[in-house]
Structure 1
Amino acid sequence: MGVESFQGLAHTVQTVAIAALIAVACYYFPKINLNAQLAKLPAFGAESGEKQRTEFLKHGKDMYLQGYEKFKNQVFRMTTSDGAETLVISPQFLPELRKLPDTVVSFPKAIEELMEVKYTGLLADEPLGIHAIRADLTPALARLNPVVYSEVLQALEEFMPKCEDWTAVNIYGKLVSMVATITGSLITAQLDIKKLRPLFKPWFAPRLPSVQRLHEAEKNLASFLEPVVRARQDAEKNDPDWQKPDDMLTWLMNRQGEFGVRSTHQLAKLLLGLVFASIHTTTLTATNILYTLAVSTEYIEPLREEIRQVMGENGDTISTRALQQMMKLDSFMKETVRFYPPGFTSFQRKVLRGFTLSNGQYIPAGAKIEVASHAVYQDPVNHPNSEPADVFDGYRSYKLRQGGTASDHARNQFVTTNEQNLMFGYGKHACPGRFFAANEIKMILANLILNYDFKNEDGSKVRYSQLNMGRQSSPDAKKNLLFKRVEV
C-alpha cells in the first residue's frame, strides 16, 4: 500500500471516528443533561436500576401513596417500569399545567410510551378519532341511547346464562363479549410488554403472542373494512336515496381526508385504538363495580329500587333522562373507582420544552410527568364534608349532590373531571369518550342489578383482590361470581 493510499485510509477512518463520536455525543448529551436536571429534584426510593424497577412493578401503588405523603405540594421523581425516572406532580399545579400548550407538555407523546405504541402499533390520541368522538358521538348520545340500550339487552340475553339457580359466571369474560366483538388480545398486549426489561423490548416485544395477535387483528379488521368502505363510497356516489349509517365508521370516513387518513388500513388502525380504549376502560370499571357490589349487598336493594322507580318514570326503559336520574348508581360507580381505579396515576405528559412551576421547581425537557391520582382520591383534605377518605361510602357523591349548589351537583358526577377527579384525565385532553362509556356501564349494571342477585363464588364477604403491576390495576379476570335471577 502506498503512502498516499495509507494516508487516505487513515483520513477516512479518522472522519468516521469523529462522526461516530459526534453521533454518540448527540445521543447521550441530552440524556446526561436531563439526568443532571432531574437530580436537582427530590427522589422517592433510594434504589435505582433493575432493583428499583422490580420494586415499582410489585409495589407501585404503595410507592405513589408514600411519595405523595412525603412530598406533598411539590414535585418528586421516581424510577418506574421502564427503568427511567418519572416526575410526580402535585395536583395543586394542574390549573397552571393545563394552560401550557402541547408544544411544551405533550399528551400524545406520553401515551405513545405508556401504550408501547412502538411495538403495538396502536394509534395514540389520533386527531381524527378524537374529533369524531367529540363532534359526532357525544352530541348524538341522546339519539343513540335507545339503540345502545337495545344492544345491551340483546348482549345480556346472548351472553348471560339463565341463572334460574345460583350459577357461576366469569363476569369479566362476559363483559368483554358484551362490550365489543374484538376481545382479549387488544387488552393484554401493552401489559405484556411492560414486564420486559427495557433492554430486551426491541427484540422480544414484537414476538410476544399478544402483540402478534394484535397485529393479526389489525390485518383482519382492514380486510373486513375494505369491502364495507368501498360499498359505502359507491352508494354515496351512485345512489341518491342512500342514507349514511349513523356510526363511527361513517364519522371517520366523513373527515378522513381532512385529517390525512387516506387508506382503509389506517382506518382499521384507528378503529382498533378506539376499540382498545372502549374495551379496556368499560370492562375493567364494570367488573370492579360488580366485584365491590358482590360484597356490599346492603347497596343492592336500594339501587334496585332506584332503577325500578327511574325506569317507571321513563316508559320502562333507560333513556338519557333515566341515566341522569340514577344518582345513587352513579355515586356507587364513582366511589368504586375512587378505591379501585384502573391506574394509580393520571395526567401523563411528555415535556418537550422546560418550564418552571409557581413554586420554583424546574421541569426539564425530556421528562415525563404524571399525577398520583389514587393518592389524591385517598387524601382526607379532599373529603372535608363526607365520610373519612379511607371509608368506602357508596353514597358519598349522592349525599354531596343532595341539596347542594349547582357546582356541587356538577363536581360529584361520575364523568366529572377536576383536580380531585382524575380517572378520565384533566384539561383539554380529558377522555372525550367518557360520556358514552359511563352510559354503557350504567345500562349494563342497571340491568344486572335489576334482574340478578349475585355474590362471591365461595360466599365470602371479602372483595376479590386487585392485580396490581406498576401504575396499573385490574380486577382478577379469572374470578367467578354467583348469579341468580330474581323476579322483577
Structure 2
Amino acid sequence: MALLAQLAHSASALLPLFLPSIAAIIAFALFQRFHFFAPNPLSNIPTVGDEEYPGYEKKRQAYLTKAKDLYVEGYNKFKHGLFRIVTPNASSVIVVSPSFLGELQKLPDDVVSFDAAIDETMHTKYTLLTTHEAVLPHTVKSSLTPALPRLNPQISEEVQIAFSQEIAPLISDSSSSDWAPVNINSKLLRIVAKVSGRVFIGPELCQDERYLSAAVGYTVSVMEAQRAVEKMSPWLRPFAAWRLKEVRRLAQWERDAMAFLRPVVDARREKQRKGEEMDNDMLQWLMDSADQGQGKQHGKWGEDTTTTRKLARLQLVISFAAIHTTTLVTTHAVYSLAADKGLQAMLREEIQEVLEEHDGVFTTSALQAMKKTDSFLKETMRFHPLSQTSFSRKVLKPFVLSNGQVIPKGSIIEVPNYAVSRDPEVYSNPNMFDPLRFYNLRNEARGKGEMEQAATSQFVSVNKDFLTFGYGRHACPGRFFAANEIKMILAHLVMTYEMGLVEGETERYKDWDIVAGTIPDPTKDVMFRKL
C-alpha cells in the first residue's frame, strides 16, 4: 500500500509537466479530425479522367503519356467553367476557361504567383533554374526591347554569319546530289545561340565555343532534367532527384559558364574603373542594373548581386529562355516550309519585295511589313503550340471567382492553350493549317476600321484566343526580340535555299507530344538546295 501511495504521489507531482504535451496532442487530434471532415472547396469541380483512370497513380501516369488528350477532353466537357486534372506535381491543378482571364489578370502577385508556378512545373528545387530574379524581365523590357531598332541590323548580320558557318558547309560539301540533308533542329540550336549571343554577350564572345557549348548544353539539359524529375513519383523526389544524371549535369554547365564569364566580367569592371567606353549588350545591362540598385528594387538580388556566379546563372537562364523556344518555333516553321514549296515561294516573294523597298536592310518597319510571314509564324504557334497550357499561376492566398468558386491556397490554375487553339467557336476550321489565317483576319479588321482588332492578329500580340506567349503582365517580355530573330532566320532560309522533305516522306513531319509539351521531331532531316 505504501508503494502504491508513493507512486500516486509521484505521478501527481509530474502531471503538471506533461499537461502541455497532452493538451497539444489532443488539440492536434481534434484539428486533424475536423480538418479531415471539413468540406473540400474543390469537391464540386469535376476531375478529368476519373472513369478511365481510377486512383491518383493511374491518373498521374495517364498525364505523362496522354496530357494533350486529357486537356482536350476536359475543355470540351467544361469549356465555360473549370475542371481538375492530376499532374506529376504535388499541387491540385485547376484548369479554367479563358473567360476568367479578365479577372484573374487583375489579381496581385501575392495572391497568384507566376514564379511559384514555374518553380513547381520546372522543378527548380532540383534544376536550380532561376525564376525569382525580376531584374531579367525588367532588363528585357527596359533595355532590350527599346534597343531593337538599333540592334536589328546586327542581328541580321549575325544570322548570315551563323548560316555561313553552320549550314553552308554541309550543302557545298554534299557530293551525292544537289540536295543535302540537314538536321535543322540541331543546327538551329547553334544558330540561335550565336544570334542571341550577339545581343547577350557581344559579337566576339558569341562565337566562342565555350559559350556555345554552355548555352546550348544548358538549354538541352534543363529540359532533360525537368522531364526526368517529372517521371519520378513526388514522394521520391526529395530523396533521389538530386542523384539523377540529368540534374547533376546542370551543375557542370553552370561551372563551365562561370569559368568562361569570370574573365569577361573582370575585364568589363576594369574598363569601368578606367572610365572607358562600356559594351552595349545584355551582360552589361545586367551589370549596370545591379550597380544602379535595380536588382534590389525589382527583384530578389542578394548581396552578391554583381558576382560572376550570379551573372553566369542569369546568362544561362536568359540563354535557355531564348534558345529553347526560338529553336522549337523555328524548327516547326521549317518543317512546314519543307512540306510546301508554294508556301516557300509566297514568303520568298514577300520578303524580297519588302527588302527592296527598305534598301535590303532589316529595319523595324521592314520586319513589320512582312505581314504574310508574320501570319505564317502566328499560325505555326497556334497549330503547334509549345505547351498544352498557359497562364500558369500558383495560388498563394485563397480567392473567389466571379462564379462563386473558391480557389484555395496551394493550388495551381492554368488555361488549356492547345484546346482553345483547336476550338471551332474560336477559329474557323481549327484543324486546318492556314498560313494566311491571321493575314486575312488582319485585313478584314482593317477594312472595317477595327484597328485594335487588327492588332490582335499580329504575331507578338496576346489575347484570350492566343495564349502561347502568356497573358497579362507576365506575358513573355522577350517575344519582340524573338519575333525579329525568327523572321530574319526564315528570311535568310527562303531567300538562300530551297527546302524539301527526305525521300519517301510526303507529309509534314509529325510532332512529339512529351507530357504537356509539343516539340518538332528533333531526329528529322530537311533537304536543302541552294537557290
TM-score by length of 1: 0.91
Q: Secondary structure at the match of 1:227?
A: helix
Distance apart, 1:190 and its partner CA:
1.5
- Give yes or no for the alignment of 1:427 onto 2:472: yes
**1:326-365 alignment runs, 5 A limit:** 326-365=370-409
Corresponding residue of 1:127: 134
Distance apart, 1:31 and its partner CA:
9.5
Name the CA distance, whole Å, in 2 between partners of 1:30 and 1:321.
64
Structure 1 residues 21 and 375, CA gap change in structure 2 (3 angstroms): farther
Structure 1 residues 225 and 376, CA gap change in structure 2 (3 angstroms): same
Distance apart, 1:454 and its partner CA:
1.4
Corresponding residue of 1:41: 45
Structure 1 residues 57 and 187, CA gap change in structure 2 (3 angstroms): closer
Contact 1:186 1:214 (C-alpha < 8 Å) held by counterparts: yes
1:269 counterpart (307, 313, 322):
313
Corresponding residue of 2:235: 199
Q: Secondary structure at the match of 1:347?
A: strand
- Give yes or no for the alignment of 1:368 onto 2:412: yes
2:497 counterpart (429, 434, 452):
452
116-125 or 421-430, larger mean C-alpha shift: 116-125
Name the CA distance, whole Å, in 1 between partners of 2:487 and 2:182.
20
Structure 1 residues 139 and 21, CA gap change in structure 2 (3 angstroms): farther
Give the counterpart letter for 1:427 in structure 2. G
Name the CA distance, whole Å, in 1 between partners of 2:282 and 2:33.
45
Name the CA distance, whole Å, in 1 between partners of 2:283 and 2:115.
22
Name the CA distance, whole Å, in 1 between partners of 2:248 and 2:312.
16
Structure 1 residues 10 and 452, CA gap change in structure 2 (3 angstroms): farther
Give the counterpart letter for 2:42 in structure 1. L
Contact 2:392 2:414 (C-alpha < 8 Å) held by counterparts: yes
Give the counterpart letter for 2:371 in structure 1. M
Distance apart, 1:9 and its partner CA:
11
2:252 counterpart (210, 213, 216):
216
Unpaired stretches in structure 1, ≥5 consecutive residues: none
**1:315-330 alignment runs, 5 A limit:** 315-330=359-374
Structure 1 residues 308 and 6, CA gap change in structure 2 (3 angstroms): farther
- Give yes or no for the alignment of 1:311 onto 2:324: no
Contact 2:91 2:411 (C-alpha < 8 Å) held by counterparts: no
Name the CA distance, whole Å, in 2 between partners of 1:221 and 1:433.
22
Name the CA distance, whole Å, in 2 between partners of 1:481 and 1:25.
66
Corresponding residue of 1:118: 125
**1:25-424 alignment runs, 5 A limit:** 36-46=40-50, 47-82=54-89, 84-162=91-169, 163-164=171-172, 165-180=178-193, 181=212, 182-183=215-216, 184-237=220-273, 239-240=274-275, 242-257=276-291, 258=293, 259-260=295-296, 261=301, 262=305, 263-383=307-427, 387-403=428-444, 404=446, 405-424=450-469
Structure 1 residues 22 and 398, CA gap change in structure 2 (3 angstroms): farther
Name the CA distance, whole Å, in 2 between partners of 1:33 and 1:309.
70
Name the CA distance, whole Å, in 1 between partners of 2:476 and 2:344.
29
Name the CA distance, whole Å, in 1 between partners of 2:183 and 2:34.
49
262-271 or 304-313, larger mean C-alpha shift: 262-271
Contact 1:122 1:270 (C-alpha < 8 Å) held by counterparts: no
Contact 2:400 2:407 (C-alpha < 8 Å) held by counterparts: yes
Q: Deviations over 1:274-322 (max 9, x none)?
A: 1111111101111111112222332110111111111111112322221
Give the counterpart letter for 1:252 in structure 2. L
Name the CA distance, whole Å, in 2 between partners of 1:354 and 1:397.
38
When the two structures are aligned, how many residues end up with a matched partner?
479
Name the CA distance, whole Å, in 2 between partners of 1:30 and 1:425.
40
Contact 2:497 2:529 (C-alpha < 8 Å) held by counterparts: yes
Name the CA distance, whole Å, in 1 between partners of 2:371 and 2:320.
28
Distance apart, 1:150 and its partner CA:
0.9
Distance apart, 1:24 and its partner CA:
10
Structure 1 residues 350 and 32, CA gap change in structure 2 (3 angstroms): farther
Name the CA distance, whole Å, in 2 between partners of 1:12 and 1:462.
79
Q: CA RMSD in A?
A: 2.7
Name the CA distance, whole Å, in 2 between partners of 1:292 and 1:20.
65
Q: Secondary structure at the match of 1:382?
A: coil
Q: Secondary structure at the match of 2:329?
A: helix
Name the CA distance, whole Å, in 2 between partners of 1:296 and 1:197.
43
Q: Deviations over 1:1-41 (max 9, x none)?
A: x9899999999999789879989999x89996999222221
Contact 1:65 1:375 (C-alpha < 8 Å) held by counterparts: yes
Distance apart, 1:116 and its partner CA:
0.9
Contact 1:34 1:364 (C-alpha < 8 Å) held by counterparts: no
Give the counterpart letter for 1:111 in structure 2. I
Contact 1:187 1:279 (C-alpha < 8 Å) held by counterparts: no
Q: Deviations over 1:176-210 (max 9, x none)?
A: 01111211324422122222221222233222222
Q: Secondary structure at the match of 1:37?
A: coil
- Between structure 1 and structure 2, the one with the greater Rg is 2
Give the counterpart letter for 1:472 in structure 2. G
Name the CA distance, whole Å, in 1 between partners of 2:161 and 2:512.
31
Structure 1 residues 134 and 43, CA gap change in structure 2 (3 angstroms): same
Contact 1:48 1:79 (C-alpha < 8 Å) held by counterparts: no
TM-score by length of 2: 0.84
Structure 1 residues 93 and 126, CA gap change in structure 2 (3 angstroms): same
Corresponding residue of 1:476: 521
Name the CA distance, whole Å, in 1 between partners of 2:30 and 2:145.
49
Q: Secondary structure at the match of 1:400?
A: helix
Q: Secondary structure at the match of 1:483?
A: strand
Give the counterpart letter for 2:232 in structure 1. L
Name the CA distance, whole Å, in 1 between partners of 2:84 and 2:33.
20
